[in-house]
Chains A and B, each alone.
Chain A
Amino acid sequence: MDIRNYLKNNLLYLDGGMGTLLQAKGLKAGELPERWNLTHPEIITEIHKNYYDAGSNVVSTNTFGANILKFDEAELEEIIRCAVVNAKRARNESKSNQPKWIALDIGPTGKMLAPYGELQFESAVEVFKRTVELGVKYGVDLVIIETISDAYETKAALLATKEVTSLPVLVSNAYGENGTLMTGASPKSMVALIEGMGADALGVNCSFGPSILAPICREYLKYASIPVLLKPNAGLPKVINGDTKYDISANQFALECKALVEEGVRVVGGCCGTTPSYIEELTTLTSGLKAKDIVPKNHTLISSYAKAVEIGNNQVTLIGERINPTGKKLLREALKNGDYDYVLKEGVQQEERGAHVLDVNVGIPEIDEKEVLTRVVKELQAVIPLPLQIDTSNPIAMESALRVYNGKALVNSVNGKEESMSAVFPLVKKYGGVVVALTLDENGIPQTAEERVKIAYKIIERAKEYGIDKKDIIVDPLALTISADKSAGVETLKAIEMLTAKGIKTSLGVSNVSFGLPMRDYVNSTFFALAMEKGLSAGIINPNSVEMLKAYYTFSALRGRDENFDKYISFVQNLSNVATTVVAPQKGVNEALDGGTPLMHAIIKGLKESASEEVDRLLKERTPLEIINGEIIPALDIVGNAYERGGVYLPGLLLSADTSKVAFEKIKSVVPQGGADKGIFVIATVKGDIHDIGKNIVKLLLENYGFKVIDLGKDVPPESIVKAVKEHHAPLCGLSALMTTTVPSMEETIKQLRKEAPWCKIVVGGAVMTKEYASKIGADRYCKDAMETVRYAEEITK
């Protein structure tokens, strides 16, 4: 029988714990349980058979950790082959008469994905693919991805499975007691991600007993339109009389599960600590229950690594438009130069100003859009918990960005042209996403609201053919310029009203409407308010514009959407707040202040705003170089000397460095070529090492002193460092390593550099480094801190 069909009308019973049973049978610490498929096939087969006998429809192969990171190719294949053989034998031997299937069990890789670990997303996909290929080859009926506690790794596993096979796939995650995955994802965001990618069922397993998982389960039931799975532990392990045991009995377990089955859980089994008797109790107790119907939900969800944003549902979603190079000279420059810090700053600032989603557009002709868009997405999602709107008309760049995106993205955009739909819809179907549909087609943008709505219908119908639901489409009826056509605003508003009446969600790039007019914010904000009143679900706006935020917060308050006016009040308070400034510890530098200029004073004391104002003032009378060499560097020297003597400590040094960076940026924004250039310094944390706070401080200081720093990041292979040094013909290279275990890769890097780039001086640092150690591995110099590195760099490049 086809399991997908069976699932339509029936409860599906999974099996229970495997690991805990193997431990009881003598599995040793550090021994890999997957090897028991080969060494103890009779034990594995018996456990599977006992589960079938207890009423399980599905048993999972003993392959939780069977992947190419833990086993070599030949052993992996043998393990998976035997695992499937064991399960098949159990199925043949079991006399119970329920329908029976075998699932390939896939657990986490055990490695953290980049950037917080070393496993690249694409490598993770490859690891999972290899396991799935073997499972399929040996004849499993479905795949279960389970116990992964990271959204990104879950995506990698699901994507891999989908790329290998069309077999059904169930996805289950392990939650912490705060109700999120270990890396932060909420149940709602996991529903968005997993359902968006087309899994057959989704849910939660491990960690706790059924009643503690109940709230998470209910979130799944609330948002999911596909079957929900529950596979809890037999409670928590406790030490009783020297023995460690789980604290929920089979009967209690079954009762608690039954309650959740009555609420709508469709797929149920047990995890750690559960045994065949738990499953038997469960199947017996729920045998008379009729499976509750699964009702399709109408939530338009997008997600990030951490949270879901629901579009519509009586809220207006603010999409920050600042990461878009159109008309932004500094962003253009940053994208061209690979200055991702600048992009990140734009992102963080919009988050702080209240954006719910960030639009990401890097469309400039001078760059490789695919590469840059993908990189920007990675950089932003590493630290910003807001979902992203991938904004590009290039399907290759779109696919690459959607692939690495950690969540379910907003996709901007598709339109009514056949060419656009046939390029974009397959991507949305494969990777998941909510897609913005522009109401234009081969004949351009229709004049009237009615005709635009017609195109919207056409797009929605066409999407359905690809299996994309209406809830995953937001229509942008296009704001045109009123100065070109005075009825443009009215038609757009009318279209929003018509679409809203049909239950279709809408989005609008608001700012176009005012093109050509003075004080555009005034026009935009009123238009925005009018559109919200007509039912607009999302606006692409500039969160730095007070006028736009005013319209948004006052509208929400007036429309009764702001409980106790909390949001409005906090918006007003933030408006009047003067930025708090931290004062640097100034011991040891006070004496120098007397003779200093106001800019020096600002840098020494860490006053960013005064530094910026001072530079503005000075630029009117002096050249950038005069300001840098006459004031900024001397001020830094005062702080640096005090740091070296022990009068100023690291926080004070950093604050001054950061303040002078503000001064440099000010100079650069006025005179782009105004910086000093003392030479190129390639810097990296070596392969295997994922800690880089020290390296980042060195980078900051070097930049302050006028060096161009090529920062290769952390976990950098020797070859990449050599390549960068050669490419830039860098006179200096800095390497950092935290632990003894990563020093060998530092040594290897030095060896390769000596051979390939003999001109380059190598300076090393890090927690385990010493002067002796440095010379032993062939470095030119050991520097104990950032200041010493600066001094050395100045000496070399003099």
Chain B
Amino acid sequence: MAVSLVKSFLEPPIDVLEILRYAGQKEKTSELDGIITECLEEAKPYLTYKVCYAYLPCEVNGVEVMLGEKKLSSISLSKNLAGCEQAVIFSSTIGIGIDRLIEKYKAIAPLKSLIMHAIGVERIESLANSFCAYIKKELALEGKKIRPRFSAGYGDFKVENQKLFFEYLESTKLLGLTLNDSYLMSPSKSVTAIVGIYDCEGKEQAQGCKACVLKDCEYRR
């Protein structure tokens, strides 16, 4: 087992359009700007941007993936990691503060609760993206590229695999992240994922919604 690395990020740039999208506002509007600003101001002091991660060897054989010491079976994951000999696995969280704010407003200002939730989703997604961008830059120096991040619950890669990120990484100790028996994480605004690493000659893959099999998803772009 490898030692987990840990890295804190500065606040990633805030994307208000994404916040609106996660709040279910499908058309652009400036009418919610005031409340979003208010919520962001309240939430910011409570947000942390922490990631813990480790590099693992990986090998794909058909639908089976050998990741570190573990054998995983998933068509989607094997596609994602095809051609990769190494992967980064990471867990990340923006902390429990946002959960308290969602809870605080659920009864006294439901719209604020929804906006806080949307802010939380936008922030954790941005953090995961920032981390991947950081890894991408680091690896470029070695002439390597990365695959789109891949989480438990994507395609046929079962949610139960969430436990991997607690076995390979000291997520609880380093981030205060916990996993319950239904494989839900707390703090709720947390992301874990595997990022395949390949040599530059390998071919790039579709990213984001384009790569996803869930065609009728509410949030599909």
A residues sitting closer than 8 Å to B (CB atoms) are 20, 23, 27-31, 107-108, 110-112, 115-118, 147, 149-150, 174, 176-178, 181-184, 206-207, 236-239, 244-246, 272-273, 341, 344-345, 348, 382-384, 580, 582-585, 587, 646, 649-652, 654-655, 657-658, 688-693, 696-697, 700, 738-742, 745
Contact = CB atoms under 8 A, between A and B. Distances in A.
A117 B178 contact: yes
Given A237-B6, A582-B32, A650-B24, A341 B107 contact: yes
B111 A655 contact: yes
A110 B178 CA distance: 6
B106 A693 contact: yes
Given A583-B31, A689-B182, A184 B96 contact: yes
Contacts of A652: 25
Given A658-B109, A693-B106, A697-B114, A29 B182 contact: no
Contact of B176 (A182, A236, A345): A182
Contacts of B151: none
Nearest to A114: B186
10 contacts: A29-B1, A30-B69, A107-B173, A150-B176, A344-B104, A344-B107, A344-B108, A345-B107, A691-B188, A693-B117
A178 B8 CA distance: 10
Nearest to A242: B55
Contacts of A108: 172-173
B25 A116 contact: no
Nearest to A741: B182
Residue among B31, B153, B163 with the highest chain A CB neighbour number at 10 A: B31
B63 interface: no
Nearest to A206: B173
B207 interface: no
B8 A742 contact: no
A239 B100 contact: no
Contacts of B26: 646, 649
Contacts, number: 184
A27 B1 CA distance: 6
A630 to B, nearest CB: 24
A461 B150 CA distance: 64
Most chain A CB within a 10 A radius of its CB, from B32, B108, B173, B183: B173
Nearest to A737: B182
B95 interface: yes
Contacts of B32: 582, 585, 651
Contacts of B99: 116
Contacts of B8: 177
B103 A382 contact: yes
A793 B17 CA distance: 34
B80 to A, nearest CB: 20
Contact of B48 (A150, A178, A245): A178
Given A116-B99, A693-B114, A739 B159 contact: yes
Q: Which of B104, B166, B175 has the most CB of A within 10 A?
A: B104
B126 to A, nearest CB: 18
Contacts of B166: 110
Contact of B180 (A107, A384, A585, A690): A690
B215 interface: no
A28 B69 CA distance: 8
A54 B96 CA distance: 40
